[in-house]
Structures are given as structure tokens and as C-alpha cells.
Structure 1
């Protein structure tokens, strides 16, 4: 269990925006890679980093849409990647390695939520494959460019739904879309715990509740039943807008307040506490033994391990 999971008094809060946490920071000469950086909170993260002077590479499964969404944001570049396809991840990484441009901030923000049962060519459950395994392979393949970098894994409070289901992580029996999502978000946190232990500064986080294209697989009526919107499509007051939703991952990537820390879970631009329910991070997601086990399992599946 991590004893580092203690608030540090950042001065920021749930309504802080990505621009707020970057106020006074000059990122000129820095390079960021933001997966999912062309939609929802990823787009706002890209915008904030670019406005602070960083060059931002946005790997995208839909590069034409990404280019259109990023039009007018200076210093951005789109490249193709499909996180469900390890050959695509490898090709993207090889293009980056050939360029030899150091990466200062790697934000793993792309993801899917509660999708119908879908499998990769290897038979892997798609949420685990995209949200975790694709990013695992990406980070390991980009490792020569990550010296001194920060890696940010965008998890969710949904990690509390499920630990890693070691008896059947790919739901070969009885698929449950929410359990699968929860497992993938737990994997994001465990990934950051182990990557930081291995020597690369890493953070995981819950961005908050935000209405974005991430909810595309959830029928509107179901979202209303869950209290995510009223009959007019308006979210409840506790939901964040996209600028606020982008704040914690932007803070994680760049803030000097986090110097000397790593392997911790953040929410509302603050280090979260370990809790059994409510806000905070669940014990199963910051267990170092679970983190090591997941790393070894992921390396065996993907065939990639920069620390082998």
C-alpha cells in the first residue's frame, strides 16, 4: 500500500481548469504526446499544453477528424495509431524513435467505456486491450525517448468497480461491460504504480465526471437513469466541463508541485487518499504486488518490456 497517497495542499480544486494549473508555466521547447488528444478532455489538454508553448503530438485512430478538431491550435501534430492493434503501436513508436525527439510529457488519455463485448484479433477484451495493453506497449516502445519524462495514465473513479480479474481478465465467460471498464481503469492505476517504481515518473488520476464522447456506448435513457443528465440533457452540478476535466491530467504532467512524487493517484488536482468508498483510490489499485503482477502479465501478452 502506498504511504504517498496523502494530499499536498495544491491550492487547486475541482473547478480549476487546465489553463489555471498551467498559469505561469512556460513549456516552450517541451514536447508532449497526448493519446485521445483530439476529443473531450484530451482536446482541452492538447489546447492548454500548446497554448503554454509545448509542441503536442496527437496519436489518433481517426487522423482526419483529429486534424479537423486541432485546426487552429498551434504546435500540434497528428499521427496515426490504433491502440487495439499492437502492430500500429509499434509503427507509431518507430516513427517517433526515428525522429529522436525527446518526450517530456506522455498523457495516456485515449479510451473506451462500457462498450458491447468486442475482442481484438488476439481474443483480448477490447476495453482492457485499448485502455491498458495498447498504452502499456506504447510506453515501453517509446522508453528511449522518455528519460526525465512524466507519464500520465488517465484512469477513473470507475476503478472501484473491479480489481484485475485474474481468474478471467478477458471475460471469456459472462461479459459485463462495466466490470470490464472498471478492471481496465484499475489496470491504469497499477501501471503507473509499477512504472514509477521502475524509475519513470508516473501518475494516475480520476479526471472527474464529464459529459464527453466517452459515453457514446451508453444509451441516453441509461445516462438519465444514472443521474448523468436530466430530461433536457443537462448534467448535474457536480459534473465538470471539459476545461475542468482536463485540469488534473495537465497538472499531473507539468506541475512542479509534484516534483519528488510519483506512483500516486490524483483527483481534483490533488493527491487522493486511499479509501474504501467514495472519493479517493481503492486499496486494490495501489497494491505494489498487484502492480508487479500486472506488469509481468502485460509484458507476456504484448511481447514488450523495456525493463526486461
Structure 2
């Protein structure tokens, strides 16, 4: 059974930084894979995990940018990779599998947000394909190594934007319904949470626990496709283009934004736990679907039946099986 979706409390807060969340954790001898680990939140996550002694593999779409960003950090491997390119995912997966190394941490940090309508060659909607299906395909390759660790954790970067949409199982790839960039993004972030929920259920007997994370609102490259009009539409800008005070109060620094990821990846407070959505370095509160609060987790992102259904759909769409 997954852990109860209820705050511990952890003693941390939304202002906790990644180094504070790490504490005195020693990751010497541990191996991590961090997607998107060369910019923004991913880079901060890699920096802190490296400081704690971990060896880290960073699959990178832009390997030159990754080399420049990570050049001063020890024990870093950089591999060519693209979440939207199934051939590159398989190539990286085969290479890693051939090493027969145990994997202690898998952090699915990379993603895209509120992009224009687009489908890949398989007919998969771009945000769903990149944010969820790409990580799902990669996780299938990493699954044996995670089990080999015997004490592994998986952290999926979700978002408070999961409240924009549950999974539309009738048309997840927007092949028939009108495209909405924010609902599409919200669906992909709900998918991240449900992926962690079902992976945890499947992994607990193998010592693999999984968590989903809302990092908070942070100004990073993730917002590259978001216009001021888009921000106004979701209430993050007023009609004059200014950030409302109640929204400004929600923003975090990159160091604060990476803290919950680091906490879920390393904290002894979470030993024996998993399958929960976390924010502000704690397990988030489960809230009703009609809430107006910009915190907590919606019912559709912690629905065990939907998680199992999404898993089956993902395997069918990709033509793969974890087992």
C-alpha cells in the first residue's frame, strides 16, 4: 500500500534550500540518473547530489551545453539523449543496461511546458510524449538496475499544474479534442504523479520507492514557450502585465525549487514510504477537487485505479513492458 497522502510534518518549509534538504546525507558510492540535469532545477539537483558524493549520469539533448554547465563537478557522465526521440532513449537504455550497474536514484527532471500544438511521428501529443512517455520508456530500461540496487528511489517532477487536467483516457494525445496548451501540460503532470504512484506499488517488493514532486513556481528555461497572454490566462499576470502579489509570494529561487526533489531522493524521513506527491519538502495534503487553493494534490493525481490504467496505456502506446 502507498504511504498516506498526509504531511509528516517534516520540519522543513517552502523556503528550505536544496542543501538544507540534503543535510548530512552521504551518497558516496551511489549512482544517479538525472534527466535535464544541466540547467535550472536539474543542474542544482545534480550539484547537490554530487557534493554529497554521488556519481551522476546526465542524459542530455545538448551535450555541449551539458559539458559546459557540469565541467566543474566530479563523477559526472554525459550521454546523448532526447526524451522526444525513442531511438535515442533506446540507445542510451541499451548502453546503460550493458554496464550491469545498480542504480540508486532516478530523477525525471526534464520537461517542456505549455508548448504549441505538435505531435511526433507516432501521433503522440508533444507534452504527453516528452514529459510522461519519454520518462516511462527510459524507466523501463532502468528498471532492472533499480531493482538491482535493492534500495532505490525514483523521483518524478510533477507540478501544481496537475490541477489543470486529469488524464483523458479517451483522447490523451489530442487527436480529436481541441488542443489546450495548459490542459495538455496539466495532463502530463498528472501523468507524472500517477507514474510514481504505480511504480511505487510495483517496486516496493524490490526495494524501489517512488515519489512525485511539485518544485514550486520558479523562473527557469521551462517557461520559454509561455507568453504574457498565457500567464494572464492562468492568473500569473494581471492585465498590466504585472505579477499579482499573492502569486509573487509563491515564487521560489532555484535552490528552493530543487529542495523537494533532493529531499525525496535522500531524506531518511521517507524511509519505508513512497507513492506520494510532495511539495515544500513534505508530503502534500490531499485536497478536494473543488478547492481554490494553490497547494496540495488533486484526487485524480492520486487515484490508484487511474495510475494502473495509465501504466497499461503507456505500455500499449510504446509497445514495451517493464517485465
Structure 1 length-normalised TM: 0.95
Among residues 213, 223, 247, which one is paired with 1:205 in the alignment?
213
Aligned positions of 1:101-180 closer than 5 A: 101-147=101-147, 148-173=151-176, 174-180=178-184
Residue 287, structure 1, aligned to residue 303, structure 2: yes
Among residues 196, 199, 209, which one is paired with 1:195 in the alignment?
199
Counterpart in 2 of 1:182? 186
Deviation at 1:223, TM superposition (A): 3.6
Deviation at 1:172, TM superposition (A): 1.2
Matched residues in 2 for 1:119 and 1:269: separation?
35
Check whether the contact 1:50–1:74 (CA below 8 A) recurs between aligned residues: yes
Tell which deviates more after alignment, 250-259 or 231-240.
231-240
Where does structure 2 lack aligned partners over 5 or more consecutive residues?
none
Matched residues in 1 for 2:143 and 2:229: separation?
43
Among residues 273, 278, 282, which one is paired with 1:261 in the alignment?
273
Deviation at 1:77, TM superposition (A): 1.6
Structure 2 length-normalised TM: 0.90
Among residues 225, 238, 255, which one is paired with 1:243 in the alignment?
255
How many residues get paired? 307
Tell which deviates more after alignment, 144-153 or 156-165.
144-153
- Residues 1:38 and 1:233: Cα distance change in structure 2 (over 3 Å): farther
Counterpart in 1 of 2:43? 43
Matched residues in 2 for 1:157 and 1:302: separation?
27
Matched residues in 1 for 2:85 and 2:241: separation?
39
SS of corresponding position for 1:139 = helix
Check whether the contact 1:105–1:254 (CA below 8 A) recurs between aligned residues: no
Where does structure 1 lack aligned partners over 5 or more consecutive residues?
none
Check whether the contact 1:164–1:186 (CA below 8 A) recurs between aligned residues: yes
Deviation at 1:156, TM superposition (A): 0.2
Deviation at 1:260, TM superposition (A): 1.0
Matched residues in 1 for 2:241 and 2:128: separation?
32
Tell which deviates more after alignment, 174-183 or 75-84.
75-84
- Residues 1:4 and 1:78: Cα distance change in structure 2 (over 3 Å): same
Check whether the contact 2:17–2:259 (CA below 8 A) recurs between aligned residues: yes
Counterpart in 1 of 2:24? 24
Counterpart in 2 of 1:227? 236
- Residues 1:7 and 1:100: Cα distance change in structure 2 (over 3 Å): same
Matched residues in 1 for 2:119 and 2:279: separation?
31
